[in-house]
Amino acid sequence: MKWFAEHRLFTVVAGIIVALCLVIIISFAAAGGSGALGRGIQSGISWIQRPLSSFTRSVKENVGGIFRYKELQKENKALQAKVDALQEENKNLRIKKSELRELRSLSKSFDFKPFAGTSKAVAARVIEIDESNPYVVFTVDAGTKKHVKRNDIVVNGSGLVGRVQEAGKNYSKIVSILSSRNSISFRLERRSSVTGVLKGSGHGELSGYVMNENMSVLKGDRLITSGIGIYPEGIEIGTIRSIEYDEDTQLKVIKVKPTVNFGALQKVAIYYEY
C-alpha cells in the first residue's frame, strides 16, 4: 500500500490502461450485439470514454505546456545571454572611445613648445590615487627606468598637471597643482605683464593673487606658466573663476578652475631632460 501511495500517478495511469483493455475486450466480445447486454456495454464504453478523453487531452496539454515552458526558458536564457554580450560590447566600445579621446589629447602634450629642444616626454598611466584626497598626490607607472626623476614636469593634452615628487624604478609619485604645497608663478595669456602666484586648495581648485593691484584681470582670463620657478613658460594652467580685492594685502585675489579634468585623469606625459 505504501508503494501505491508513493506512486499515485503511476497507479492511476495503470488503472486507466487496465480499464481500457477490459472495455476493448468486452467490446469485441459483444461486437454487433443489439441486445440489452450490447447496449449496456456501449453505454458503459461511452461513459468511460468521455472523462477519459477529457483527461487525455488535459494530460497532453499539460505535458505540452511543460515542454513549451522549458523551451521558452531556454530561449529567454539565450536572449539574456545575447543582451548581456551586447551590453558588455557596448561598454567596451565606450571605454575604447574614451581612451582614444584621452590618447589623442595626450598626443598633443608630446609637442609642447615650452619643452622643445630641451626635454623628452614619456607616457605614464595613473595606477593609484588617494581616495580621501583624489589627485592631489597620485602614482603613475613610469620611473627612473624611463629616465624620470624628482621635479620632472607632468602634463596632459589640456595643460599642467604637476611635478614628480618621488621616483622609483617603475613608478613615480606625482604632486599635482591641486596641492597647497605646489606654488605656480603665472601670467595672463592675453597680457604677459600681468603676473601672480597660485596654490592649490587641495579640493579641486586653485587660488592666488595678482602681483599688481592696478593690473586688469577679468573673469574667464586664461592663465599660463610664467617661466619663473621649476615650470617652463607657456603651459596652460586654468581660467579665472572669480576676482576679489583683499583690503589687508591690497591684492586682487583670484580663484581658478584648472584646464585639466583631474576627475577623469588616467594618462599623463612626464618631461625629462636629456
Digit-coded pLDDT (tens) for 94-131: 545 555 565 555 555 556 666 666 678 888 999 998 77
pLDDT for 239-254, tens place per residue?
Answer: 999 999 888 888 899 9
Reduce the secondary structure of 17-52 to three states and give it as a string: HHHHHHHHHHHHHCCCCCCHHHHHHHHHHHHHHHHH
* 193/79: higher pLDDT: 193
Strands (E), 157-246: 159-167, 172-176, 183-188, 195-200, 206-210, 222-225, 236-246
Q: Is 187 exposed, middle or buried (0-12, 13-18, 19+ CB in 10 A)?
A: buried
d(CA 216, CA 210): 9
* 132/195: higher pLDDT: 195
pTM: 0.61
Extract the C-alpha cell encoding 232: 617652463
DSSP element (H, E) containing 64 = helix 36-109
Say how many C-beta atoms besides its own lie within 10 A of residue 265's C-beta. 19
d(CA 43, CA 37): 10
Extract the C-alpha cell encoding 24: 476493448
Q: Which are the contacts of 256, defined by CB distance < 8 A and separation ≥ 6?
A: 198, 205, 206, 207, 208, 223, 237, 238, 239, 240, 241
Percent of the chain clearing pLDDT 70 (strictly above): 58
